[in-house]
């Protein structure tokens, strides 16, 4: 039945999971015992479901032996590896709250995050590329991290020198007992509604906020995400996206673990070549990524060497998914059943997702429909009234996925979640009469030029059609005459060259004159977070500085 207003509710035919993550995982391990649960290609490690269960229990025991108790916070500061998954499962089993620390954080951000939520222990990589994690912790010292009592560094099977005052992760693990009776005793006291995870949201202004998520939040979200992908124990999902973010941890790990499927990590950090190699070697059936990752894989000079014919499904998410990129992924990577997911950390994270049988035109042009047991509405940002189908407004969502709240920040929680339980996302979207949702941008990204509302997403989608353009981002810059003018940052395809006039000529007669970018910059890369989210505010700041734009004088 056609919708008469932009409000839709997800199906409720499959019951919600009311177990804790630990109990649900133990049930799955009993059913899937000998099957591969985890393959970490860069570490050369494979664990069956029973082995993953045993090692998780061993770590849970070790954490209790450190003196940690249910409700305590423990940080994980690492890229993708076996230790990360063990921490995810072990902490959940004994009611310890896992705190995801962004591997891109430096000393001031680390100090803020650990102290904000009162982390008593931290598991960390020793270093990664130019980041010296142990060095940063030494620099902060106990004076600036007064609550942190234990640090364990992730070693490679006992390799590497001893580090003063810091325990090896392998030694920590060895001190645990997989048969420890305390694990089951504590497990019986836990509830699905207990907090299990804190993720810091990367706000463009102010300090990051600690979104606190429960077992019920992320376990159900992982399950329904896997349902959309039609995952089974036969599936092997390649996960090159970072685990510290919901994409890797929920859309990846929990989607697999709730379906008895296999988690596959191609590397600790993203590298397009190892993704292609691992998909072929492990015969992966699924692949996750943000658009920039899929672009890097498709345009890799060795792309055609690899057999990707086992691929079927996966998720493209993390930032708006360009239609042209989606088409290439379906055609050239065999991902005929790839889905698009939309959400935010505060909603565990997915609110809308296309499914494997969503018609291709809807799958490449929308973020699908509302997920089970959730509600989504599109409202006028000024009045809060629900808008008609096809009309743009702010997307709000309600249901089991909405976070427990921001850690010890009732005021910010009230600003985000209204009295009726609706999470206000800050995203501009439309909903059609069938319930398909399309994200048109951030409220803050909307460009108003001479009274015309312009959605940068629309211009980006058009420019992706240019044969020389690999990637593009459009922002608004302050302008004295029109209020704002459009600026496009363009990455051209390898071996190609283009001029600004060439791009403008491509636009003429195809899109309205006021939508043609005034400024066109050719760049090698975009500023982005570790998860692949483009930081448009940094593009804006860089251009204002380059062009000598003084915002106050143009206002």
Tokens of 152: 């364990």
Average pLDDT over residues 272-283: 98
pLDDT tier at 348, thresholds 50, 70, 90? very high
pLDDT at res. 299: 95
pLDDT tier at 335, thresholds 50, 70, 90? very high
Q: Which residues pair with 151 in a beta bridge?
A: 122
Give yes or no for a contact between 266 and 275, defined as CB atoms under 8 angstroms apart: yes
pLDDT exceeds cutoff 80 at 312 = yes
pLDDT tier at 202, thresholds 50, 70, 90? low
Give yes or no for a contact between 318 and 270, defined as CB atoms under 8 angstroms apart: no
Q: Give me the residue label for tokens 């995400």.
A: 225
Average pLDDT over residues 34-42: 98
Residue 147 CA to its chain's centroid (Å): 28
For the chain, which domains are there? 452-554 (3.30.300.30)
pLDDT tier at 204, thresholds 50, 70, 90? very low
DSSP label of 435: -
pLDDT at res. 238: 98
Percent of the chain residues topping a pLDDT of 70: 97
Residue 490 CA to its chain's centroid (Å): 24
pLDDT at res. 345: 94
pLDDT digits (tens, 9 = 90+) for 146-161: 999 999 999 986 677 7
Q: How far apart, in whole angstroms, are the C-alpha atoms of residue 148 and residue 383?
A: 46
pLDDT at res. 483: 84
Tokens of 482: 């029109």
What pTM was estimated for this model as a whole? Answer: 0.88
pLDDT exceeds cutoff 80 at 180 = yes
pLDDT digits (tens, 9 = 90+) for 425-467: 999 999 999 999 999 888 888 888 877 778 898 899 899 999 9
Residue 391 CA to its chain's centroid (Å): 27
pLDDT at res. 205: 45
Q: Which long-range contacts (CB under 8 A, 24 or more apart) does 436-442 make?
A: 436/362, 436/366, 436/368, 436/369, 437/342, 437/352, 437/366, 437/367, 437/368, 437/369, 437/370, 437/376, 437/378, 437/395, 438/365, 438/366, 438/367, 439/320, 439/342, 439/367, 439/395, 440/392, 441/320, 442/536
pLDDT exceeds cutoff 60 at 203 = no
Average pLDDT over residues 103-123: 93
Give yes or no for a contact between 289 and 314, defined as CB atoms under 8 angstroms apart: yes
Output the 3-class SS for 19-36: CCHHHHHHHHHHHHCCCE
Across 1-15, 150-164, 508-522, which has the greatest mean pLDDT?
1-15
């Amino acid at each position: 039945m056609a919708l008469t207003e932009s409000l839709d509710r997800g199906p409720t035919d499959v019951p919600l999971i009311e177990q804790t993550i630990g109990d649900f995982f133990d049930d799955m391990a009993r059913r899937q015992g000998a099957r591969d649960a985890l393959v970490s290609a860069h570490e050369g490690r494979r664990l069956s479901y029973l082995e993953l269960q045993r090692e998780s229990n061993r770590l849970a025991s070790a954490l209790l032996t450190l003196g940690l108790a249910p409700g305590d916070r423990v940080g994980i500061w690492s890229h993708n590896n076996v230790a990360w998954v063990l921490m995810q499962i072990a902490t959940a089993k004994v009611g310890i709250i896992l705190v995801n620390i962004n591997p891109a954080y430096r000393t001031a951000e680390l100090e803020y995050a650990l102290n904000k939520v009162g982390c008593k222990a931290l598991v960390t990589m020793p270093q990664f590329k130019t980041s010296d994690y142990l060095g940063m912790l030494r620099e902060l010292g106990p004076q600036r991290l007064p609550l942190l009592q234990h640090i364990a560094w992730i070693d490679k099977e006992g390799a590497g020198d001893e580090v003063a005052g810091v325990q090896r992760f392998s030694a920590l693990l060895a001190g645990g007992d997989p048969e420890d009776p305390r694990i089951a005793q504590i497990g019986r006291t836990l509830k699905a509604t207990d907090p299990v995870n804190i993720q810091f949201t990367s706000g463009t202004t102010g300090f990051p906020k600690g979104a606190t998520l429960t077992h019920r939040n992320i376990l159900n979200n992982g399950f329904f995400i896997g349902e959309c992908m039609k995952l089974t124990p036969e599936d092997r999902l390649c996960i090159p996206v970072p685990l510290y973010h919901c994409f890797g941890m929920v859309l990846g790990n929990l989607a697999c673990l709730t379906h008895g499927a296999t988690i596959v990590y191609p590397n600790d950090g993203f590298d397009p070549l190892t993704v292609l190699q691992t998909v072929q070697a492990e015969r992966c059936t699924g692949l996750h990524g943000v658009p920039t990752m899929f672009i890097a894989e498709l345009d890799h000079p060795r792309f055609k060497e690899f057999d990707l014919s086992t691929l079927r499904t996966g998720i493209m998410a993390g930032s708006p998914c360009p239609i042209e990129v989606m088409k290439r992924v379906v055609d050239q990577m065999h991902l005929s059943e790839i889905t698009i997911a939309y959400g935010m950390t505060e909603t565990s994270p997915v609110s809308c997702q296309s499914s494997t049988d969503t018609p291709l035109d809807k799958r490449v042009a929308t973020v699908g429909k509302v997920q089970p047991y959730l509600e989504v509405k599109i409202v006028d940002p000024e009045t809060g009234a629900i808008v008609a189908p096809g009309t743009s407004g702010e997307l709000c969502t309600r249901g089991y996925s909405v976070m427990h709240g921001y850690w010890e920040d009732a005021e910010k929680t009230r600003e985000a979640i209204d009295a009726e339980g609706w999470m206000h996302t800050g995203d501009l979207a439309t909903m059609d009469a069938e319930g398909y949702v399309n994200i048109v941008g951030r409220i803050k990204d909307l460009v108003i030029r001479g009274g015309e509302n312009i959605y940068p997403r629309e211009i980006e989608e058009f420019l992706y059609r240019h044969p020389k353009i690999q990637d593009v981002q459009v922002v608004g810059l302050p302008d004295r005459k029109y209020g704002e003018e459009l600026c496009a940052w363009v990455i051209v395809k390898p071996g190609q060259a283009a001029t600004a006039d060439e791009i403008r000529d491509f636009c003429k007669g195809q899109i309205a004159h006021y939508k043609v970018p005034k400024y066109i910059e050719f760049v090698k890369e975009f500023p982005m977070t570790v998860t692949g989210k483009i930081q448009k505010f940094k593009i804006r700041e860089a251009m204002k500085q380059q062009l000598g734009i003084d915002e106050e004088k143009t206002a």
